[in-house]
Structure formats: structure tokens, C-alpha cells
């Protein structure tokens, strides 16, 4: 218990120290190099991880946006994608709805997006989780499937993606996104920092010998 108290005090001291300090997320150089070799996905493109370069395809897709990016995602920790989103948020309208519980995890990159001014909100459901995984680029083409924006999805899990530009399908997703966004909840960055620290401590072994 005394070690947990120490870590909590340390965390609450460190996180506020970075309040207001925005920085570009570090980039996975290997992934970044691979993205440059991948064509931007088009209608009916598919991808299956971990055997195929799904993260690279998704990165190229996000980077192709010119006007808008509407994203609903359960979990996010791939640094290259974070860097692209931070950059894109400076030049176009970008909205992200995420899951509250996942955003509070120590692995999540949601707080970095918020620190860099990206428009991110928590999804609000009837007692469940924000488990959607789709992104609409410029209101004309979308990506969906089981693929989360995580390293587990990229490197380990059996996941899938499909890219669709059928107007009827895209419009259906646009309508749904507006509903999700309308009910979403603003995120308090200071509270999120505290929650990340507290949740990280819960995972510490009871007999941890670390100072």
C-alpha cells in the first residue's frame, strides 16, 4: 500500500507538470517507411492482419484526407497514426469519438491527441462501450472492420478491414456518426491524466518491491 501511495503521489506530480505542454507524438520509423510504399486504399479494398500491412493502409488512408476526418474508435496506441491525426487536425475538420475506459488505460494515446488540440470526445452508450471502429474520409469513403488502432491489432490479433465508397453505405455511416457525435461527452484533460495515473497503479503487483 505504501508503494502505491508513493506512485500515486509521483504520478499526480508528474502529469500536472506537463499540463499545457503539447508535443508531436513520436513516430514508429519502420511503420512510417512502410506507409510510403502503400497505395491509398480505394473502394472494396480489404486487409487482414497480422499477415497484411493493415496499419500502413490505414495510415495512408488517414493521410489522404483533404477536408474532413470522422473517426469512431475503441482503442488507439499506434504512434504513427497519432502523429498523422495531430498533423491533420491542423489543416482540416477532424472529430474522434473513443471509448472512455480504454482512453484511461496507461497504453492509450488519447491524452496526447487532446494535448495537441485534437477534437476527441467520449462515446456515450446505454451501459456498454463505444465499440465502433470506422473512419470516414472527406464524407466520400470509409474504412471499417474489427481493426483497432493498436499494436496488438497490427502485430498479433486476427483482424480485418474493408474500404467502401458506395454513396448509400457512406451516407448511412455519416448519419450514424452524427448521432454518435451528438450524444458524445467532452473530455477533461486534467481529469484524464489523473485517471490514467490511478488506473496504472491498480495494475501494480501487491508485493511490488519497486520504490
Identify whether the C-beta of residue 150 lies closer than 8 Å to the C-beta of residue 78.
yes
Whether 133 is catalytic is: yes
Whether 138 is catalytic is: yes
d(CA 112, CA 100) in angstroms, rounded, equals: 15
Whether 107 is catalytic is: no
The runs of H, that is alpha helices, within 36-188 are 54-63, 79-88, 100-103, 110-115, 151-155, 167-183
In the set 63, 138, 152, 199, the catalytic residue is: 138
Quick one: residue 31, left, alpha or beta (phi over 0 = left, psi -120 to 50 = alpha)?
A: alpha
The runs of H, that is alpha helices, within 95-142 are 100-103, 110-115
In the set 63, 101, 131, 194, the catalytic residue is: 131
Nearest Cα to 155, choosing from 51, 39, 74, 28? 51
Residue 160 bridge partners (DSSP): 48
The catalytic site residues sit at 131, 133, 138
Amino acid at each position: 500500500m505504501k508503494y502505491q501511495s508513493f506512485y500515486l503521489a509521483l504520478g499526480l506530480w508528474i502529469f500536472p507538470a506537463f499540463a499545457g505542454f503539447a508535443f508531436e507524438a513520436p513516430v514508429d520509423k519502420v511503420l512510417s517507411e512502410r506507409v510510403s510504399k502503400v497505395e491509398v486504399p480505394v473502394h472494396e479494398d480489404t486487409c487482414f492482419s497480422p499477415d497484411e500491412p493493415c496499419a500502413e493502409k490505414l495510415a495512408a488512408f488517414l493521410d489522404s484526407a483533404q477536408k474532413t476526418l470522422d473517426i469512431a474508435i475503441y482503442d488507439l496506441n499506434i504512434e504513427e497514426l497519432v502523429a498523422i491525426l495531430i498533423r491533420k487536425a491542423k489543416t482540416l475538420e477532424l472529430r474522434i469519438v473513443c471509448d472512455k475506459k480504454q482512453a484511461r488505460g496507461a497504453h492509450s494515446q488519447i491524452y496526447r491527441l487532446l494535448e495537441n488540440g485534437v477534437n476527441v470526445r467520449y462515446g456515450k452508450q446505454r451501459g456498454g462501450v463505444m465499440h465502433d471502429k470506422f473512419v470516414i474520409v472527406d464524407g466520400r469513403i470509409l474504412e471499417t472492420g474489427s481493426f483497432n488502432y493498436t499494436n496488438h491489432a497490427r502485430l498479433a490479433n486476427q483482424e480485418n478491414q474493408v474500404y467502401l465508397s458506395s454513396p448509400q453505405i457512406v451516407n448511412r455511416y455519416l448519419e450514424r456518426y452524427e448521432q454518435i457525435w451528438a450524444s458524445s461527452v467532452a473530455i477533461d484533460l486534467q481529469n484524464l491524466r489523473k485517471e490514467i495515473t490511478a488506473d496504472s497503479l491498480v495494475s501494480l503487483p501487491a508485493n511490488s518491491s519497486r520504490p
